[in-house]
Amino acid sequence: MKKIRCILADDEPIARQLLENYIADMPNLELVASCKNAFEVLEILDTEKIDLLFLDINMPKLSGISLLKTLQHKPAVIITTAYPEYAIEGFELSVTDYLLKPFSLERFMQAVRKVRLNETPKPQVIVNAETATEKPKHIFVKSDKKLIKLFFDEINHIEAYGNYLKIYTNKMILISQTLTEFLSKLPANFIRIHKSFIINFDKLKHIDGNQIVLQNDTKLTIGKSYRKAVLAKIDA
């Protein structure tokens, strides 16, 4: 069995020791280096072939997230941290898993298993272009110090609210983000109809004059500069 060559990075000696012990318990893992900071990681990646990086977030001078943003060709990454608030940014950077300290050996093994599954050749299947480029069905959003898994098909519409957004599902979720930034993370069935509104086009019931009526009977005004795009979406 081919071993997964891995390194770990954590500025806390106790945390490094725990990870070293967990890695030693896994016969499919080979620990190449145990690093105290992000700069040691960069040095190893420049000289060694590494398959997997266990990465702490809160490290001096260069954080784990900042390190990931500097890497053009990065190995599989499992984040190990005590800070849940970085989960969204971590998954946006395509990490394999996100382990919150303290985590058990069982949870560690689950994360490593994902790396092994990613390495296993998958049966070839025929997909159409739409399926091949399909975006994820959900997104993680931070609201009231919680990370909420939000499924796109549950969203009715989104409303700008000062420096925040109101996301309407069967309830209202308030997040800190701009409308333009959030729209870039949504699939193609979401369209901006006003400077203050984005709708899930799949939830459209009908258009009444300059108003869109959603399936839950919410009425939203179509902005003049957005009307042409809305009509083009209908004709598409």
Q: Which CATH number fits domain 152-235: 3.30.1360.70, 3.40.50.800, 2.40.50.1020, 3.30.720.110?
A: 2.40.50.1020
Average of pLDDT values for 39-58? 93
* Residue 145 near residue 174 (C-beta atoms within 8 A): no
CATH architecture of 4-119: 3-Layer(aba) Sandwich (3.40)
pLDDT band with cut points at 50, 70 and 90 for residue 74: confident
Residues of the chain with CATH 3.40.50.2300: 4-119
Give the pLDDT confidence score for residue 236 in this predicted structure.
58
- Listed residue (235, 214, 211, 151) closest to 187, CA to CA: 151
Q: List pLDDT tens digits, range 160-219.
A: 998 899 999 999 999 998 888 888 888 889 999 999 999 999 999 999 889 999 999 999
Residues with Cβ within 8 Å of residue 153, at least 6 apart in sequence = 137, 200, 202
Query: Minimal CA–CA distance to 64: which of 87, 98, 37?
Result: 37
Q: Where in the chain is the domain with CATH 2.40.50.1020?
A: 152-235
Q: Is the pLDDT of residue 149 over 60?
A: yes
Q: Radius of gyration of the chain from Cα atoms?
A: 22
For residue 89, name the pLDDT band (cuts at 50, 70, 90): confident
Quick one: pLDDT at residue 214?
A: 95
Residue 155, SS3?
coil
